[in-house]
Amino acid sequence: MDKNNKKETFERNNYQRLTSLIFQELSWLPLWIKKDGDIIANADNNSEKYILDSLKIMNLTKKSLKNKKVFNIGTGRESRFFASCGADVTHIDMGPESVQELKNWAKKNKANIHSTNIDIADANIGENKFDIIFLSGIYQHIQFPALALVKFINALKKNGLMYMGFYRSGEFKYFIVDAIRYILPVSSLAKVRDINSILFTFGEHRHYQSSRVMDDFFIPRKHNFDPKDIISDVKLLGGSIFHFDNDFRDYNHKGHSYFSIGGDRIYITKKNNKITKLNNVKNKLKTLTGRNQIFDVNYKEELINENINLFKRIKTYYETGFISETNLICLCIGLYQFTRPFELENSFYFQETKKKDRHSVLNTYLKNFIKNFSIKK
């Protein structure tokens, strides 16, 4: 094995190990292992609502799912829903715990689920095989997303239907998350988990908010996509879009709602049995990686660019010992309250961003932190 192949293998193994650790042990799986719909560790585990919303757009009902061939990736929540409606479900996930839990559930409920512990990069999911492909919260975490998209569209039957939700480039909350990921090292994971739990979840690690922090801060791949790039790849691969909200803005950080921009859900079909060979399209694919919200978006506003420079300054101060790890962690947990607190109405930071311009409040916060919590002032 040459040097480049060794490096690629190491990076891939590290990606798989860390992804599995976070999803299987530190975040979502511990919340989802009971019957779908239960309230588990302060988290609403009811996936049925958002699936039904998508089925309505697909012009499908629960009854129409009987005997449909469905493909799904993840912790198994959606797979359980489709199987309970009589569908024939193929499920994969990198985490062995997710797969085993789903197999146990399928056996107990006599459900038609075929679950395999495998990364999509290694999986052969077939061609022109599935009536429905349902991917919620998956595409942004795949190591090389577009390579998986080739498999997804090839596996979709003619007139099959595919739903894909993804992290949207241009969203304020992902600007904050990418800033946190930029300044905070992975080595702080355990301390972040403890401090966040002490401050916001009554010391409970197995909590929805703790899971979100672990996911957003430390999952090894978090791609943010411009919908124009996804649509370009879908069309290149022989798919077509049958539903999208047509929000094509590059970014929007204004406003006071939880989502600052639309265009993060897309519905795809295939009008023929075309199979695309990866080697024929690889150099044309646009979503092999996503867009970092700190470095890959051209912001016109002076204040946004000033805040980016403040993040760079904080990172330099931390790396040179002028900011302590504990203070940096507290800053990042505070930043998260600007956009993804557990209870929006009870978060002082989030409410302040509703009263004033988001970046104005952020600017004050970052300047105060540098002024009061760095040795080099």
Could you give phi then psi for residue 39, rounded to 5 degrees? Answer: -90, 115
Q: Which of 11-20, 139-148, 204-213, 330-339 has the lowest mean pLDDT?
A: 11-20
pTM, two decimal places: 0.91
Could you tell me if 150 and 84 lie in one domain?
A: yes
Q: Is 189 among the domain residues?
A: yes
Q: Is 88 among the domain residues?
A: yes
Q: Is 32 among the domain residues?
A: yes
Q: In terms of residue numbers, what domain contains 265?
A: 11-170+222-284
What pLDDT is stored for residue 11 in this prediction? Answer: 62
Q: Using one digit for the tens of pLDDT, what is the confidence trace for 215-246?
A: 999 999 999 999 999 999 999 999 999 999 99
What average pLDDT does this structure show over 9-16? 68
pLDDT band for 39, please (50, 70, 90 cuts).
Answer: very low
Could you tell me if 306 and 341 lie in one domain?
A: yes
Q: Is 3 among the domain residues?
A: no
Domain boundary among 255, 284, 313: 284
Could you tell me if 247 and 360 lie in one domain?
A: no
Could you tell me if 258 and 369 lie in one domain?
A: no
Q: Is 6 among the domain residues?
A: no
Instruction: Give one DSSP letter per residue of 326-357, joined into a string.
Output: HHHHHHHHHHHTTT--SSGGG-HHHHHHHHS-
Q: Write the single-letter amino acid at 362.
A: L
Q: Which of 296, 241, 249 is nearest to 265 (CA)?
A: 241
Q: Is 100 among the domain residues?
A: yes
Q: Using one digit for the tens of pLDDT, what is the confidence trace for 241-299?
A: 999 999 999 999 998 888 889 889 999 999 999 999 999 999 999 999 999 999 999 99
The number of distinct structural domains making up the chain is 2
Could you tell me if 90 and 100 lie in one domain?
A: yes
What pLDDT is stored for residue 318 in this prediction? Answer: 97
Instruction: Give one DSSP letter per residue of 47-89, joined into a string.
Output: -HHHHHHHHHHTT--SGGGTT-EEEEESSSHHHHHHHHTT-EE
pLDDT band for 341, please (50, 70, 90 cuts).
Answer: confident
Burial of 3 (0-12, 13-18, 19+ CB in 10 A): exposed
- Domain holding 90: CATH number? 3.40.50.150
Q: Is 290 among the domain residues?
A: no
Tokens matching residue 129: 């095989």
Q: Give the number of other CB atoms < 10 A from CB of residue 180.
A: 21
pLDDT band for 36, please (50, 70, 90 cuts).
Answer: very low
Q: Is 4 among the domain residues?
A: no
Helix (DSSP H) and strand (DSSP E) numbers for the chain: 15, 9
